Structure 1
Amino acid sequence: MTGTTTPAPSGTLWLHVGTHKTGSTSIQEALSRRAEGLNERGRRLLPEANAWALANLFLRPNVCSAARMLGTAGPESLKDFDEASAQVAVALRSDRDMIISSEAFCLMREALEAFAIRAFFRAHFARIVPVVILRREEDWRRSREDQLRKTGLWERQRGLADRDSADGSWYYDRGALLRFWSMIGSPQVIDYDEAMAADGSILPAFGRAIGMPDLFEGLDLRLNSR
């Protein structure tokens, strides 16, 4: 009796991980608007433009992300991972490559999180390319605070221990962030301030980072720009 084997994954996952307040909403909306063109070029998207629920599956239990504080994520179960894996497979269809985006991925820092992310996605892809967008720290901090105030979470985050807060001092450690994603792939790093100065939008730089420099031509989106 001859058994059947599942072919090894051969495609690439472009994983946009934020950070927060670096044009993520514009990127996610732009990808959604270009979904048909991406499909024609063999790249798929998840149904959710912002895959925050997926990202929260991998986040260490102590970190109080916005989704966890609002009661829309956690606690996680094995069934959640199985369902998420099936969702990726369905969205991928017969294509090889995919783009997934959520700034919640930038909250990861520990080796066990890296192991879980790598094991989960390597069931579907041969290569993972993290896309990380960074900006000047003072602007990053100010915009992040503004975001948390708008969602009513600022004071609650301030009351947490530093290690548990999604706005702790560890969050702004660029070196630690890039070291983490280097455990998973070779990060494509975009300087938000340089991109905005050169193009007036984050979209052209993001298109170049994923190897599709013409993807967003003629599209102007500037959402949640502060």
Structure 2
Amino acid sequence: MADGSTDELLRQVLKQLRTTRDVPSTALGLRRAAVKDSVDHIHGDERFTYAQVHQHNPDALRAAAREAPAFPGLIAEFGVHKGASLTLLADHFESAVVHGFDSFEGLPEAWTGSREGAGAFDVGGKPPELPVSNVEFHVGWFDETVPAFAAVTTEPFRFVHLDADLYSSTKTVFDAVGDRFVPGTIVVFDEYFGYHGWRQHEHRAFGEFLAARPDLDFDAVAIGHMNLAVRLRHATR
């Protein structure tokens, strides 16, 4: 392509980007409002005071993994998709088995507040091939695999990555293995806030879990683009 044509193409791309940015958009307005609501939520809660802040979710996940307690316990990810974050965790916890839970058939229902409908993130029902050997997959819907896991394990959780997206899926995990969350457990919610409807999903499920476990509270340890990492502790209220 001639230099003149390249320059013209770049000008057109920049013009389109400026136009898209300036045109009023309901979706963009909702996202901005949700981000402001999330920031206000953080500012209004002293438990977020000392959290590290990262621009990108993987950086917050790495920071959270470094905060995992030393006591023996389980490491699990609920919501694997293509396995990028599971690989990250398996690399970090190289001497432990990292349990990965997913149906690999996508979301069981529409994710309200997002554009993702039922079946989004479907990868054909099979777990991905990963460049790590310390991963154990639990393939199926959470309401089947998580209770089955609870029946054959007794250890508490050291580290949990909850990438379940939906209120219902997150609640299923808390209902099935809620007693494994103990003071010191690190929990990372992958889509905790920052989008329209965020208060109705992982945030809501976590709030209900804490209400049912008055012995527990939390301190935020890392905040990412949309994710939140917390360390559970004994409640003082």
- TM superposition score category, shorter chain reference: 0.3 to 0.5
Q: Does 1 or 2 have the higher relative contact order (CA < 8 Å, sep 6+)?
A: 1
Higher strand proportion: 2
For normalisation by structure 2, the TM-score amounts to: 0.36
For normalisation by structure 1, the TM-score amounts to: 0.37
From the CA coordinates, give the structure whose radius of gyration is larger: 2
Higher helix proportion: 1
